[in-house]
Every structure is written in C-alpha cells, then in structure tokens.
Copies of this chain bind each other. A is one copy, B any other.
C-alpha cells in the first residue's frame, strides 16, 4: 500500500485550494457550505454517482474522470435550464490509490469547476476497501417557474437534440479494443466523447430564459430508453426519423461500414446531449445548433423509428439500467 496522507491533509492539500475561490465554501473549515440563492430563482439540485469499473474505467486518466464526474451533473442542470451555482463532492478512494492519482483528480476537477463557473463548495472524503466512487451534488439557479420538466411535452411538439448521438457508445467500444477498422482520428474523437462529455449549458439556459414551454432531459442512458421518461411523465408517444439523427463523421463512418452499430447509436449511453420537446417555432427561436429528429404523438408510451423508406419500426425498450441489463 502506497503511503498516503490522512483525510484532513488530503483535503487541505488538494481540494481546499479549489474551494478557496468561493466564499460559500467557508474555506472548507466548516462541515457545511452556505449558498445565497439569487432573487427570483429556484434552486435546481441534482446528484450523480460514478463507481470505478461500472461508470468509468480504473485505467482512465483521473483528470478525465474528474471532468466526467462534474460534467454528467452539469448536464442534468442544463436539462433543467439552470446555470451552475456550485457543487459538493463525496469521494470514496480505494485504499490503495496513490496520492498522485488523487492530486490529478483534484486538478481536473479544479480546472472544470473554473471553466463552468461551478465552484466546489464542500464535500466528504472517505477511504474504502472497495472500488473508488464519487458522488457529486450540483446546484443551479433557474428563473422561478422556468425549469424545464419532463412532464411538459405535448402531442404535436417536435423533438430536437443537441450535438450528435452515438459517439460515446462507440467511443467505449474503441476503448475496449473494438471498431478496429476506423482510422485513428475517428477512434480518438469517439473515445474523447466517451471520456469527457460536453454539457449543453448554453442551450438549456436559452430555453429557460424565454417564456415558451419546453420539456427536456439529457440523454445519458441512450435515446431508446431515455426518451420513454418524457413519454411516461408527459403521457405521450414519439416517432423518430432515423435519417435525421445527427451523427458525427466518425459515427457516420462506423455505421456505414457496420449498420448493426445503429443499435449502439440509438441505445447506448453517455452522450449527455439534450433532448428537447417544444413547438417547432419555439425550437427555431432558440437560434442554436439543435437538430429536429422527430415528433411527439398522442400514442402514450409508443416509440417508433421511421427509416429512409418511411417504414416504421417499434423502438425496443432497454436503455442502460444499472441492475437490469
């Protein structure tokens, strides 16, 4: 076992410098942080946990792991239309992890907290005999009454998505040694999309800033499964146009060579793109780089995929379930 400092020293050396930047953190001297909520806003709270060898790979760069821990939570804030106010982190480090690993993790976290204006307000650090785990709780502010909810979709809405879908699922395959036919640039792009997601803060905040109705969520467990959460909450159905689904060049190359990969593109997780349902005019009014991929129907719980020949197929359930799959 590598010699490692005690909990208090670890926090003082690696995490207190990050937290110094926010008055709310009370310099991590207290067991709690203080947040002054901005007037006219509600507080959005979200929490996501990542466990080694379940949600990230032990051999991944700790800097990237830290960024992912933060960004998957920021993505949930984005899906509600919130701007970040701060985060608290629980870190359960495996007892054999080196202090270098922890230092690299703290560096990555600090950089991204700065980049997204999401200061570290506090946390808890423990040692575990099991796999390293992180649980991050993120706080955001959204104008009162403007949070985007999953129960707000209506029949006749169009469905828009940010960025491109499927990259992360294929990136994981690349990292696991698959998709060997792709060129190195495509492989590197796809891997990076798995390792470091891009939370769509700007799109979320733009939706919440206006007066229009938007239902939204982030696609973390795959479009196929995740879209049903809006269907359930809003009592609607959906039809997607396969030809409209935005693909990166790398993913387009991969599915052209091997069409069965469509299953991963539609059902695989970790994209962290926003899925937004609204009137077409309200999507257009965003003036942002989103792609319309389908429409909301009144057939509650029914999700279909329309292919290039206008054939409709029911989209299989699934999505990534941590226990069930």
* Interface residues in chain A, defined as those with a beta carbon under 8 Å from any beta carbon in chain B: 4-10, 26, 29-37, 42-49, 51, 53-55, 76-77, 79-80, 82, 88-90, 92, 121-131, 133, 135, 137, 139-140, 142, 144, 147, 149-151, 217-218, 220, 229, 232-233, 321-325
Q: Which of A4, A45, A90 has the most CB of B within 10 A?
A: A45
| A281 → B minimal CB distance (Å) | 25
Contact A150 B30, beta carbon cutoff 8 Å: yes
Q: Which of A121, A130, A142 has the most CB of B within 10 A?
A: A130
Contact A121 B48, beta carbon cutoff 8 Å: no
**Roughly how many angstroms separate A160 CA and B62 CA in the complex, as a whole number?**
44
Contact A31 B76, beta carbon cutoff 8 Å: yes
Give 11 A-B pairs besides A7-B324, A29-B232, A31-B46 with Cβ atoms closer than 8 angstroms.
A5-B323, A35-B44, A35-B45, A37-B42, A45-B137, A47-B123, A48-B90, A49-B124, A49-B126, A49-B135, A128-B131
**Roughly how many angstroms separate A10 CA and B105 CA in the complex, as a whole number?**
32
| A95 → B minimal CB distance (Å) | 8
Q: So how many copies of this chain end up in the complex? A: 2
12 residue pairs of the A-B complex, CB under 8 angstroms, read A6-B324, A29-B149, A29-B233, A30-B149, A31-B76, A32-B79, A32-B147, A47-B137, A48-B90, A49-B90, A53-B129, A137-B137
Contact B45 A122, beta carbon cutoff 8 Å: yes
Residues in B whose Cβ lies below 8 Å from that of A77: 32
| A323 → B minimal CB distance (Å) | 4
Contact B121 A45, beta carbon cutoff 8 Å: yes
Residues in B whose Cβ lies below 8 Å from that of A126: 49, 51, 54-55, 322
**Roughly how many angstroms separate A140 CA and B232 CA in the complex, as a whole number?**
32
Contact B139 A45, beta carbon cutoff 8 Å: yes
Residue of B nearest to A321 (CB): B6
Contact B217 A31, beta carbon cutoff 8 Å: yes
Contact B217 A125, beta carbon cutoff 8 Å: no
Contact B51 A43, beta carbon cutoff 8 Å: no
**Roughly how many angstroms separate A31 CA and B76 CA in the complex, as a whole number?**
6
Contact A127 B45, beta carbon cutoff 8 Å: no
Contact of A51 among B26, B46, B122, B128 (CB under 8 A): B128
Contact B144 A36, beta carbon cutoff 8 Å: yes
Asked, given contacts A30-B149, A131-B129, whether A323 binds B7 with beta carbons under 8 Å apart, the answer is yes
Residues in B whose Cβ lies below 8 Å from that of A121: 45
Contact A88 B129, beta carbon cutoff 8 Å: no
Residues in B whose Cβ lies below 8 Å from that of A42: 34-37
Contact A321 B8, beta carbon cutoff 8 Å: yes
**Roughly how many angstroms separate A144 CA and B35 CA in the complex, as a whole number?**
10
Contact B90 A47, beta carbon cutoff 8 Å: yes
Residues in B whose Cβ lies below 8 Å from that of A32: 44-46, 76-77, 79-80, 82, 140, 147
Contact B128 A31, beta carbon cutoff 8 Å: no
